[in-house]
Amino acid sequence: MRQVSVKDITKKVRDLCISAACDLEPDVASAIRSALDKEESALGKEVLGQIVENFEIAGREHLPMCQDTGISVFFVEIGREVALDGSLEEAVNEGVRQGYKEGYLRKSVCHPLKRINTGDNTPAIIHTAIVEGGKVKIKIAPKGAGSENMSRLKMLKPAEGVEGIKAFVIETVKEAGGNPCPPIVLGVGIGGSFEKCAILAKKALLRPLGTQNPDNELNALEQELLGKINDLGIGPMGFGGRITALAVHVEASPCHIASLPVAVNIQCHADRHKEVEI
Amino acid sequence: MSEPVRISAPLTDAVVEKLKAGDKVLITGVMYTARDAAHKRLIELLNAGKELPLDLKGQIIYYVGPTPEKPGEVIGSAGPTTSGRMDAYTPRLIELGLKGMVGKGARSKEVRDSIIAHKAVYMAAVGGAAALIRRSIKKAEIIAYEDLGPEAIRRLEVVDFPAIVVNDVHGGDLFLQGVEKFRRVS
């Protein structure tokens, strides 16, 4: 067994919270710069120009690129040879607590009914998986509400098939309009069960921009959806333009013979994700 | 891209009438911040027949909940939040003299109608451009609801705050007009 200290996890999580909020990952930065080149709308170019200037300032001055520093979502992979010396959940939450306080990030988590802020951005949303090996991999994807609120899940009838899936994805983007801060990234989860397709959609967002789906059929679906979405004309911030989405990522999993669950998770252009391995 | 229109805040009818959907504006003057929780409290005060903590006449409300400022700094990152969440409250405030709103995303028909009826304007700032927008905010002071933290009402002094006119008094709507121009499907 390999011993991993939860204190180390807390420290890594603290740092991830702060760097995710301030430093845009190169894959997203490059996708936005290329959108700026391709956009035909003058207003769209103006918006994309401000977005580029913004993430440059944020990175340089260590400021959150967006004031909505999000609810903290984690995907944690724990190698089966790893022995932790304490609670993973407590370690991650303590890291969030420290990161959001010491990084001057906005605490955006509250009781769902009383609407009273928890004050430290906890509890984090933690998805765990036991994997082979002796490492701990922590991925963070802080999620703002502007785009999360426009996300949708639908239990389609199997008869609706792939055409039904496409129609639902496009309808979701159309309905969202300028609200989720386009240009967006779409995570689409197909199959599984009610909760599984939502997690697949979220996971799909973590695939680096500019990488291809290894499944040919899903890759073709992604390209077709991206083309159709960009034909909607919504454009940067919804002011009209060619670039509504930077990418569409699809993940699929077998489902019940009577079901066809589909989840569409919308991510704004401040597509923050970081990972670290211990 | 046309040159930006420079406007001062608070706003007047004359200024508002000149603004058209799609205009790029730079706002200099005073704006107040308020989001969901602050709006809810303002409406509760009105329902109870009590006075508001600010006089809305001519003012602009900026829908924002900034990140905490580092020691010695004016404000943290401060980009717009989704305006639609304030739609239920907005017409009441426009009736009381609110002239401008800055946020992101589309407004309801009730808000758009109220903008036309009472000569107001809805502008959008670039969502997520919070570190850039922060530079135009020169002073920030909490004037009400400090307990709401990021959602407290702040009085901001801004210079050349960048925004784009979305809904004007003439019924112009940038979201409809802009998307129409670039849409390739029916």
Asked if B132 lies within 8 A of A66 by C-beta distance, the reply is: no
State the nearest Cα–Cα gap between A61 and chain B, in angstroms. 9
> In the predicted model, what is the mean pLDDT of residues B124-145?
96
A233: left (phi over 0), alpha (psi -120 to 50) or beta: left
Contacts with A3 (C-beta within 8 Å, 6 or more apart), sequence order: A83, A85
Query: How many of the other CB atoms lie within 10 Å of CB of B171?
Result: 11
Which among B104, B131, B149 has CB closest to A65?
Answer: B131
Instruction: For residues B91-96, give the mean pLDDT.
Output: 96
In percent, the amount of chain B with pLDDT more than 70 equals 99
- Residues A61-73, mean pLDDT to the nearest whole number: 96
DSSP H helices, chain A, are 6-22, 26-38, 42-61, 88-102, 145-148, 161-176, 194-204, 216-230
Average pLDDT over residues B119-125: 98
Residue B150 contacts A where some CB pair is shorter than 8 Å: yes
Burial of residue A233, with CB atoms counted within 10 A of its CB: 0-12 exposed, 13-18 middle, 19 or more buried: buried
* Domains defined for chain B, CATH in brackets: 5-182 (3.20.130.10)
**Per-residue pLDDT tens for A181-235?**
999 999 999 999 999 999 999 999 999 998 999 999 999 999 999 999 999 999 9
Q: Which of B7, B38, B39, B163 is catalytic?
A: B39
CB B56 within 8 A of CB B98: yes
Predicted local distance difference test score (pLDDT) of residue B1 = 57
B118 is catalytic: no
C-beta neighbour count of B117 within 10 angstroms? 12
Chain A partners within 8 Å of B134 (Cβ): 63
Please say whether the beta carbons of A183 and A236 come within 8 A: yes
Inter-CA distances, A51 with A58, A73, B133, Å: 10, 23, 10
**pLDDT class for B2, splitting at 50, 70, 90?**
confident
In this prediction, residue B186 carries a pLDDT of 56
Q: Do A67 and B77 touch (CB under 8 A)?
A: yes
Which B residues, 38 through 57, put their C-beta within 8 Å of a C-beta on chain A? none
Residue B185 has pLDDT above 90, yes or no: no
Q: What SS3 class is residue A193?
A: coil
* Mean pLDDT on A256-275: 96
| Helix residue spans in A213-268 (DSSP H) | 216-230
Give chain A positions within 8 Å (CB) of B164: 43, 46, 239
Nearest CA in chain B to A149: B82
Report the C-alpha gap between B165 and B49 in whole angstroms: 33
User: Given this model, what pLDDT does residue A1 score?
Assistant: 86
A51: which chain B residues are within 8 Å (Cβ-Cβ)? 126, 128-129
Instruction: Count CB pairs under 8 A between chains A and B.
Output: 166
pLDDT 10s digits, A152-189: 999 999 999 999 999 999 999 999 999 999 999 999 99
Q: State the virtual CA torsion across B117, B164, B131, B6 in degrees, nearest 10.
A: -90
- Strand ranges (DSSP E) for chain B? 5-9, 24-33, 60-62, 100-103, 121-124, 137-144, 153-167
Inter-chain touch A239–B132, beta carbons under 8 Å: no
Average pLDDT over residues B71-98: 96
State the pLDDT at residue A4. Answer: 93
Name the average pLDDT for chain B: 95
Tens of pLDDT, residues A17-43: 999 999 999 999 999 999 999 999 999
Report the pLDDT value the prediction gives residue A184, as an integer from 0 to 100: 97
Give the pLDDT confidence of B4-54 residue by residue, as tens digits: 999 999 999 999 999 999 999 999 999 999 999 999 999 999 999 999 999
Whether the predicted interface score ipTM is above 0.90: yes
A77-126 tens-digit pLDDT: 999 999 999 999 999 999 999 999 999 999 999 999 998 999 999 999 99
* CA distances, B105 to each of A169, A208, B162, B164 (Å): 19, 27, 16, 12
Quick check: B65 contacting A, CB < 8 Å? Answer: yes
pLDDT value for A16 = 97
